[in-house]
Structure 1
Amino acid sequence: MKRILLFAFGTSFLLIGLVVLFLAVGYFQDPKFQKETSEWLKAEPEDIWNYITDINDLPNRRKEVVAIKILETRQDGTPTKWMETPDMGGFMIFELRESIPNRKWKIELIDASIKMRGSWTYILEPKIPGTVVTIIEDSEITSIPVRGASVLAGRDATLLKEMEFIRNRFSGR
């Protein structure tokens, strides 16, 4: 009986310690994050542009996005505000902030159930034969547990994953 109690207390203290450590990691990390990544791809700027700006196709190419709801569009049908439903539940509302066809596309996360805000800027620079793609993330996570989880996953994981999707789409050309 004494062994069982010692094991139970030891396990409880270990779990509590891990939770405190997890929260401490999130607490002591800077809520703001900025980073960029660039890569040369053997593809035309127009092809990359069409891929990154096709909001309706996100659930088909990114498994973590299960649904898209277009909230606002321009007269030409271009989405300017949309809601993504991630596979972990909740919501993320994005708004188009800048659009220079085949050159620059900036979107902003204006509301999210995960207490995150930020912007992602895609810059396309023709470098014959191909294009240099630069993605800039400028984000902020106000929730300590979400920040702790993002640190454990890698603060730049979303940024690097997005570049990987683009690279995979245009590799082998």
Structure 2
Amino acid sequence: MIGAAIVIAAIIALIALIGARLPRSHSATREARFDVPPQAIWDVITSVDAFPSWRADVKKVERLPDINGQVAWVEQGSSGRLTLAVERREPPTLLLLRIADPSLPFGGTWTYELTPSAGGTTLAITENGEVYNPLFRFMARYVFGHEGTINAYMASLKKKVESNRGI
């Protein structure tokens, strides 16, 4: 029993050591094309109260008082609570969100860039993140991947947009 505890402790220490040697900051970008105009995508990604209806990772949204005159909210899901705030918006082409909870073991921004393209829209989402805890840094890099959340978001958005079109 003690031997197993030592092995587990050694594995955790190794993961923490590897995580500590990884960069604290990361950037990940994904693009997807949608057969609808930018305004249709904009309407979906900025309708905060409707997120639980199309995002599997969001069970509930709680609106907060605006921060610096911009919309703020808490998303509640299986991974816990995440407070977000709009930092910049240029409808219907640019949306910049910031994680607005300094107590989390991670932080950063998501930038949404919507570009008209051949009768539709190309959406690029860029995550500029920081992972403060070395164990979480290891997990984000080697287990979940920095693109995992963006990929899931894009898949949910595509499904929502296609269902709105009756496809």
Same fold (TM over 0.5): yes
Equivalent pair of 1:55/1:79 in contact (CA under 8 Å): no
Select which of 156, 161, 167 maps to 1:170.
Answer: 161
Residue 18 of structure 2 is aligned to residue 28 of structure 1: no
Which amino acid in 2 is paired with 1:108? R
CA distance in 2, matches of 1:102, 1:141: 30
**In the alignment, which residue of structure 2 is the partner of 1:17?**
10
1:110 aligned residue: 100
Unaligned runs of 5+ in 1: 1-7
Q: CA RMSD, aligned part only?
A: 2.2
Structure 2 Cα separation of the partners of residues 67 and 148 of structure 1: 29
TM-score (normalizing by structure 1): 0.82
Residue of structure 2 in register with 1:155 after alignment = 146
Q: Is the 8 A contact 1:114 1:146 kept in 2?
A: no
Match of 2:126 in 1: 136
Overall identity of the aligned pairs, in %: 20
Aligned with 1:96: secondary structure? strand
Counterpart contact for 1:41–1:131, Cα < 8 Å:
yes
1:50 aligned residue:
43
**1:171 positional shift:** 4.4
The residue identity in structure 1 corresponding to 2:39 is E
Inter-CA distance 21–171: structure 2 relative to 1 (3 Å threshold):
farther
Match for residue 94 of structure 1? 84
Once the 2 structures are TM-superposed, how far is the Cα of residue 118 of structure 1 from its aligned partner?
0.7
1:100-127 deviations in Å (ceiling 9; x for gaps): 1121111111215432111111111111
Runs (5+) with no aligned partner, structure 2: none
Runs (4 or more) in structure 1 with deviation over 6 Å come to none
Which protein is bigger by CA-based radius of gyration? 1
Q: 1 CA distance for matches of 2:33 and 2:41?
A: 11
Q: Number of paired residues?
A: 162
Deviation digits for residues 41-82 of structure 1 (CA, Å, limit 9, x no counterpart) = 2111111111111111222222332322111249xxx96111
TM-score calculated relative to the size of structure 2: 0.84
